[in-house]
Amino acid sequence: MVTLKDMLEDILTELESVGDIRLSAIISRHGLLMVSKATQDSDSEAFAALTATLHMSAESTTKRLSQEVPRSIIVETDEHSLITYAAGPNALIVVMASNEGGLGLILNELKKAAEKVKEIV
């Protein structure tokens, strides 16, 4: 029997096949971790809470300024990009990727993954 966790993990596995993704997770909009995959040591629970807070803050700001809701939030450092991507009203997909990994390709795959998550969560 395939569980919800198995389906969500399969989505992350497929997503991680593109670009140089170091960490990926599917979290609730309230910051609760549903599933994660990390190629480095990380505190996944704290990561989920912090990225949900980041996304919701940026979403609130964008709504006030433009009356629109952002699909994604991107935070870039010299070496990595942290991307949160809305996956319907209940979930977010979060990835940490190397800046050398092709951001456009990752965003395209995030869009596809978000549609899949939206259907099952």
Q: Are strands 33-38 and 72-76 parallel, antiparallel or unpaired?
A: unpaired
* Number of structural domains found in the chain: 1
The pLDDT-based confidence of 42 (bands split at 50, 70, 90) is low
Residue 37's CATH number: 3.30.450.30
Domain containing 102 equals 4-120
Specify the pLDDT at position 11.
97
Supply the pTM of this predicted model.
0.92
pLDDT tens readout for residues 50-98: 999 999 999 999 999 999 999 999 999 999 999 999 999 999 999 999 9
DSSP conformation letters of 21-44:
EEEEEEEETTS-EEEEEESS---H
**Residue 116 neighbours by CB under 8 Å, 6+ apart:** 11
Buried-exposed string 67-91: b where 16+ CB fall within 10 A, e elsewhere: eeebebbeeeeeebbbbbbbbeeeb
